Structure formats: C-alpha cells, structure tokens
Amino acid sequence: MTTTVAATADESGPPSNTPAATRSPRSLVSRLRFDRFSGLYLIGIFFVFFGLTEDNFLIWNGSIEFVLTEKVIVVLLALAFLVPLVTETFDLSIGATMALSLVIVNKMALETDLPDGVGAIVAMLACLLIGAINGLIVVKLRVNSFIATLGMSQVISALIRRIHDGGNITAAFGDRYINFGKGSLFSFTWPGSDTKIELPYYFFYGLLVAFIVWYVLEHTPTGRKMFATGGNREAARLSGVKTDRLSWGALIASAGIAGFAGLIYSWKFGTYTSSVGPPLLFTAVGAVFFGASQLKGRPNVWGTVIAVYCLAFGIKGIGLRYPREIDWMQPMFEGLVLIVAVAVASRQAVVKVTKRRTGAPPVPAPRQVESVGASAEAND
C-alpha cells in the first residue's frame, strides 16, 4: 500500500513540484505526459513491482486471467455510465439494471423450461425498457437525470425483490448457454511451461462493446453531437442537434450495456447474489472519472478501460502482498488513485489556461469585458 502510493507520488511529483518543467513544452517531463498517461504508467509500475516481489502476480491462471475476465464486468458498467455522461446525463440506475438482468436470466433458467438464451433475451429487453423509461422521465417529464435514475435504481431494486426474495440463486445453466459465453476463442500453452493461455468469449464480447462505443463516440457524427450536447446543450440544440433524442438514446444504450454486464456475470459466475449490481456503481463511476483524466482529457472509452485495469491490477498486487488488509485497502486505494490522477490532470489544465491568459496580448475592444478583465489581472 505505502509503496504504491509512494510510486504514485513519484509519478505525479515532477510536474507538480517543478513548474519550470511544465512551462517548457519540450522538457522530458511534459513529453512523458504523466498527466494524460498516469494510468498506463501505474500499470507498468504494478507489473514491475509486484512482478518482482510477489510470486503469484505474474502468473496467468488466478491472477492475470482472473483480473482481465472479472473486470470486464466493471468495464461494461463503467461504459454504461460513460455513454449518457457524454451528453451530460447521469445514469445511476446501471448497477440495479445489471442486477435485474442477472436475476431474470437466473430465475428463468431455474423456473422455466425455456432455453437459457430466451432468458437472456428477456433480460436484455427488460433492461432496454428500463432505459426507455429513464429517457421518458428525463426528457419528457424534465426530471433531472441524477434524481430520475436514482429513483429508478430503487424501483428496480424493488422489482428484483419482488421477483426473488433474497439470497443467492444458482441456476444450472445449460451447456449451450455457458459455452456461448465461456468458450475459448483461442488457447495455447506458454512455451516452456504448463500454463495454458486462454480467454473466454465473453471477454471479447466486452471488448467488442467497448470498441463499438468508442467508434460511435469518436468516429461518427452521432458521437460528435453527443459531445456537443454535453459541452453546451443549448448551443447544440440551436445548431439543430436533437439533444433530447440523444440523451434518450444514450440512456437506452446505457441500460442495454448494463444488462449485458449482467449476462457476462452469469457466464463468469453463474450465480445471482445481492452483492451484484449497485455495490459496483461507485467503482464504475470512479473509473469513468479517472479515465476522463487519461488520454484526451474528457470522458473516453480507452481511458476508462485503462482506469479499470489500473485499479484492478493494483488491487490484485496489494491483495497478494497484504492478504489480510486488502478488505480496507481496496476502497482506500481506489479512492486515492482517482483523486491523485484527476488532480494531476487538472493541474496541467490549470497551468495551460494560466499560461494562455497571462500570455494573451491586450485586446483592443472595450466591450470585450472578459478579455479586458483578464489582461487587467495580468497587469496587477
């Protein structure tokens, strides 16, 4: 724990302690871009440090493979939060939506003779309906999205209890269903060892969802309009962007992605427990904001993915090193990394803005009060 925090401080230290370094655009420190790539640097440090000190860190089964596959669920939940966030709409019901999907698929497998795939489809449809209702409340009833989805989260939790009265559900899923998620896309044995390297389909389904979200957000007009909606909703609307429709669509997509996270959970663990869903919300939301400090400096897909895995590998290493302390260290670590990463990124942003404002030539327009005010400050 202490070591990793020290490592974090080392990373963030140079840019914040030596302002001279950040002023010169060609200095080594700014070229390394600690502010925008802190997550990747951290992952590197974890691999080197824990790889050297913990025997069980750099092994495939039970460590790397486990982190990669388990955290795909968090990645999806984070993406479910990211999509509406881009349009400045919050969806806090994603955790509950994920749990709903998991409950439905389990319950249907347990209590009906229908194929498990039908259960999965029903679960997805239910989640999409939740998203549509969220959109209706936010767009048509004009309820603030934060409040609307917070309320919806409780409503879904109630539905879940109505469907299933507490405790775990362990459904015996059929082989076809399990293979659809768990079958291996590839498998080979690491040369010189017995380790069999393989990753299940569902990991790649998760990657595929991330890829689609990334593509839509960054490479289609729809994504561009979503970012404009989030950046200045009224300006976007006045430019002909259908901002309400985008928010609505984003909430449906969000619920769909969260529902799919529930299906992945069913493939990986095959069980419903009440600790699934809402408790994962904070981790997912934290990863989105940590991720927003990465790469482009706005909410983005790969930054979010990096954030999830950075935290996951850090926690894995800490867990190996301090197995008895991990219970309290995990949230502490997640919280601190989030704060430090965002602080480092904002510090860089602040430095840039200050430079721009102080360096700005005096603006010869008396009516341009902001600029005049800014240059007056600079003169003081």
Q: Which residues bind other proteins (CB under 8 A)?
A: 215, 219-221, 223-225, 227-228, 231-232, 234-242, 298, 356, 360, 362-373, 376
Count how many residues are written for the chain.
Answer: 380
Quote the least distance from Cβ 45 to other proteins, whole Å: 31
Q: What is the C-alpha to C-alpha distance for residues 314 and 49, in angstroms, rounded to an integer?
A: 10
Q: In the bound complex, what is the minimum distance in angstroms from residue 33's beta carbon to other proteins?
A: 17
Q: Considering the complex, what minimum distance in angstroms separates the CB of residue 357 from other proteins?
A: 10
d(CA 106, CA 360): 62
Rounded to whole angstroms, the Cα distance separating 321 from 304 reads 26
Least distance from other proteins to the Cβ atom of residue 239, Å: 4
Q: Which is nearer to other proteins, 33 or 298 (CB)?
A: 298
> For residues 237 and 347, which CB has a smaller minimum distance to other proteins in the complex?
237
The DSSP element (H or E) to which 321 belongs, if any, is helix 301-321
| Letter string b/e over residues 199-237, b meaning 16 or more CB atoms within 10 A of that residue's CB | bbbbbebbeebbeebbebbeeeeebebbbbbbeebeebe
Residue placing its CB nearer to other proteins in the complex, 13 or 297: 297
Q: Which is nearer to other proteins, 192 or 361 (CB)?
A: 361
Going by C-alpha positions, the residue among 232, 343, 270 that lies closest to residue 119 is 270
Q: In the complex, what is the shortest distance from the CB of residue 238 to other proteins, in angstroms, rounded to a whole number?
A: 5
Q: How far is the CB of 369 from other proteins (least distance, A)?
A: 8
Q: Least distance from C-beta 231 to other proteins, angstroms?
A: 4
Q: Which is nearer to other proteins, 140 or 219 (CB)?
A: 219
**Helices 301-321 and 65-86, interaxial angle, to 10°?**
140
Q: Measured between alpha carbons, how far is 341 from 37 in angstroms, rounded to an integer?
A: 9
- CA-wise closest residue to 363 among 349, 351, 378, 350: 378
* Shortest distance in whole angstroms from residue 237 CB to other proteins: 6
Rounded Cα distance between 323 and 317, Å, is 10
Specify the residue, 193 or 368, whose C-beta has the smaller distance to other proteins: 368
- Residues 81 and 258: their CA atoms lie apart, in Å, by 9
Q: Which is nearer to other proteins, 45 or 288 (CB)?
A: 288
Closer by beta carbon to other proteins, 215 or else 322:
215
Buried b (16+ CB within 10 A) or exposed e, 103-122: bbbbbbbeeeeeebeebbbb
**The one-letter amino acid at 256:** G
Structure token pair of residue 64:
């790397």
